[in-house]
Amino acid sequence: MATDFKAQRQRMRGLCLAASELIAELQRMYPQTMPELSATDRELGAHIGTRQLVALLVQLRSEAQAETGPLPRVLTPQ
């Protein structure tokens, strides 16, 4: 079974446009910071994983905005 990654990426871009407020809230909750040096391996993995997810969502939203233009004012995060 072949996976159509291009179609999946298009779908994710559409979802990211619709979830712009959620992405803004995730950025606020999980800012891009250095993890604590005293953190355990598990805590480091969780910190890095959450930031990678937020960064991916931001990237997909940016790609979608580049293709479709700016978001309507109602959906633009404050």
pLDDT digits (tens, 9 = 90+) for 14-63: 776 677 888 888 888 888 888 888 999 999 999 999 999 999 888 888 88
Residue 78 lies in a domain: no
| Residue whose token pair is 């959620």 | 22
Instruction: Give a yes or no: residue 5 inside a domain.
Output: no
Containing structural domain, residue 26: 11-68
pTM assigned to the model: 0.64
DSSP 36: P
**Which residues have CB under 8 Å from 51's CB, separation 6+?**
30, 32
Q: Is residue 1 domain-resident?
A: no
Residue 4 belongs to some domain of the structure? no
